[in-house]
Structure 1
Amino acid sequence: MRTDLPRRLALLVGHNTTLRLRDPGHLISYLVMPMVLMLVFSPLYRAALPRGGEAQAVIGMLVMFSVLSLSVVGTALLTERTWRTWNRMRVTPVSVVEMLIGKALPVFVLLVVQQTILIVFGAQVVDMPVAGSFALILSAVCVWSFALLAIGVALAGVVRSHGELAAVCDVGALTVSALGGALTPIAMMPAWAQAVAPASPGYWAVTMLKAAVAGEADAVARAALVLVAVGAVAGVLACIRIGRGLKELQG
């Protein structure tokens, strides 16, 4: 059985990669829209923030639309329930962890590519200064993508329909982004918002990605530890929830 593990994972990843590539609409829109908003809002941020305005425009839009991508992550799992194929997969030798990896890995790669393109666009078109190394920025992008994937999978194990998932993702994305400083720098937010901001994963994502672009490795490491912990907890909860079966969630 263990010797079949690489083959099973390869089949699952290949199958789910095909599914994602056949329906790229959401990821394309979450790539184009932040580019447009970066161009529109960068003069405003540059005027309000003589130092760091470009980074605020680029990283803020990147974080907001990457959180919106939670719907893509959740849909990858929720579709199996809509097609009534999840329980069929559960009677195969494939474990819950293998199924989650097969579903999540293609979306993880797409999220990393999406965010990397947005950072390159911000540097080349919006003139965001980049002092950090490629390895530091890529590691920060990977950590944030991991946290998003884990949260998205956990949500997919709780919600009952695509409409419910969309509502949770949309409201949650705006809340997480706003409180995290993606739309307005933390220093300009009301006192109560500054106090609760660290409770938002978006806060640590904005902090980590800004630090990565600025080349501040210590700040990247501190924020990354928080996001890895958030992702680990969400991932464990997702495995427990899905491992119990999803029949009770149908109907």
Structure 2
Amino acid sequence: AAVLTKPDSRRGRSNKLIQPAVKQFASQHHIPVWQPNRLKDIISDIKNITPRPTGVLVSYGKIIPQTIIDLFHPGIINVHPSLLPKYRGPSPIESAIANRDKITGVTIMQLEQAMDAGPIYYQEAYPLDFTETQPELYQTLGQLGAQLLMQKLPDIISGILQPTPQDDSRATYCSLLSKNDSRLDPQQLTADQAEAKIRAHLTYPRSRLKIGQYDLIITKACITQKPETPLDIKCADGNYLSISEVIAPSGKTISANAFLRGYPLQR
């Protein structure tokens, strides 16, 4: 067995070299770690594993060539946090929250070179109640995916569980998020949409809104029909996004009331 992950990368102002979390875990458990710059550099290492290995892929972030997939039996198994073919792509969790879906889930699938298009071994739905945040749902679906993988992997390897092709005609796609996605535009969004976007982008790229002279990161809000404070922002549907928590110019996360006491708004 071995763990394959990306090379260590430099982060932060100190430009410190950081190991991927999965590498740290593997090293603690004496599991070999491979960090190739090019996947083709480890083809011989994979071929040297006997019996022929089974691959499991989670959040690797790169397209895997078919020549690599074919080295594994019965291929590479992927855990994807949506009910495929809905939300193929890199941001299914954020998309489910932002679109106010009533249900999402986890898919155990066989990897193909085309993005998230492989046949499906198993799916399990997970209901949403419009309070989930990005980090909470990552944690929840990550745990669910790990449990399902451990349950289903023996039958996948033995061939008892066979995959079913996806219906490509029902496929939808989500894109990679960037800092450009952080700006909230209340004139274009309903209050429901703005509040959902705040929860969906809580960790990254976050949600920014210019209020008075301040460019604020909004971390928590609700919807109201009448404005009560300067932090109640009118949206496209006539309802108001009532901001209850922000990251202040000081960098601290504070309540809306604390912000208004400490940072008077210019009119």
Greater per-residue helix proportion: 1
TM-score above 0.5, yes or no: no
Give the structure with higher Rg (CA): 2
Between the two structures, name the one with larger relative contact order (CA 8 Å, sep ≥ 6).
Answer: 1
Greater per-residue strand proportion: 2
